A and B are shown apart, each in its own frame.
Chain A
């Protein structure tokens, strides 16, 4: 069995532990308060909507929560001047 162990891929339990730690740390923190990333997302979208009309289909939001930092990516196709809702650019 030990010979087999040498060839075995990395044990999966540590991966599971780490994934759970990251997830639960986040969920416990957010249980009774608004989700920071959701708040940021809403406020950023509100600011943009104040200045340009953006079709909801032209907004791509992705997120990746990490152990120490998370990334929030908001990708918006803003229509150029000349398009219907022209703004001073």
Chain B
């Protein structure tokens, strides 16, 4: 039985899709069978970030409505063979998804995969609630910025009340993933620190992803940053987060920007 993990945030643009792709990429590369589901019906983007936008034939809505078999809609990644994508529909509206349909799809995927990562749409409406509905665990992607932290707090409230686990009196295991973190600015007091964020949200930390230019380069070319530039600081932070997600005890280090010759030599190795 695989784990169902929702990647959520409330606020848009904080890095849900980037994080889903990056974590999925590195989990699959370390031998796990992973499927990424895009729940953003009408505004899908995970296909684009994964570089599979030209290969979408069927989508999540087609599968829930019985137009296509699950096996026909899954797109296998061209880089890592144990990585699959189930795209969202681009044309239908969010009401096209039913809870029963989603339950059915997730149930089947849970049997076949080690990890089912659900990329939630922004917001707290139906789409976001369906994405988290059947989750065992949740990754709350948060930027060290006031509106993001506030929205994360609301999402935590939903995770504790609107998920199937919550309704059954159990807990969805929650993790905070801080993205776009700038250690120097936090040190200067210009940015909320990790401690600030954790104190406010009181949810354990899964990882700290530094603000990093490699993230945009990876999405430009349609590849998870963990596969595109594995040695890059953000990619390594995602790899550590993926290990923690699997229960490993990996020490948390604040990402520091390396400068100078050493960095250039290390950076070169990436290409």
A residues apposed to B, CB below 8 Å? 4, 7-9, 12-13, 15-16, 19, 22-23, 27, 37, 41, 56-57, 59-66, 70
> Which residues of B sit under 8 angstroms from A8, Cβ to Cβ?
271
B217 touches A7 (CB 8 A): no
Given contacts A23-B48, A61-B57, A63-B55, 4 further A-B contacts (CB under 8 A): A15-B220, A56-B69, A64-B55, A65-B53
> Which residues of B sit under 8 angstroms from A27, Cβ to Cβ?
90
Closest to A4 in B: B264
Closest to B217 in A: A12
> Which residues of A sit under 8 angstroms from B54, Cβ to Cβ?
22-23, 63-66, 70
A7 touches B221 (CB 8 A): no
Interface centre among B51, B54, B271 (most CB of A within 10 A): B54
* B168 adjacent to chain A (CB < 8 Å): no
Q: Across the A-B interface, give the 6 residue pairs with the lowest CB-CB distance, nearest first.
A: A16-B220, A12-B220, A65-B54, A12-B217, A9-B271, A15-B221
B72 touches A59 (CB 8 A): yes
B residues apposed to A, CB below 8 Å? 48, 51, 53-58, 69, 71-72, 90, 216-222, 264, 268, 271
B220 touches A62 (CB 8 A): no
Closest to B228 in A: A12
Min CB distance B263 to A, Å, is 11
Bound-complex Cα distance A14 to B220 (A): 8
> Which residues of A sit under 8 angstroms from B220, Cβ to Cβ?
12-13, 15-16
B53 touches A62 (CB 8 A): no
B56 touches A7 (CB 8 A): no
Min CB distance A68 to B, Å, is 13
Min CB distance B50 to A, Å, is 12
- Can you name 9 A-B pairs with beta carbons within 8 Å? A7-B268, A9-B271, A19-B51, A23-B48, A62-B55, A63-B54, A64-B54, A64-B55, A66-B54
From the candidates B53, B55, B216, name the one contacting A19 in the complex (CB within 8 A).
Answer: B53
Bound-complex Cα distance A16 to B76 (A): 21
Bound-complex Cα distance A66 to B54 (A): 7
Bound-complex Cα distance A8 to B264 (A): 11
> Which residues of B sit under 8 angstroms from A37, Cβ to Cβ?
57
Min CB distance A20 to B, Å, is 8
Closest to B51 in A: A19
Closest to A13 in B: B220
> Which residues of A sit under 8 angstroms from B219, Cβ to Cβ?
16
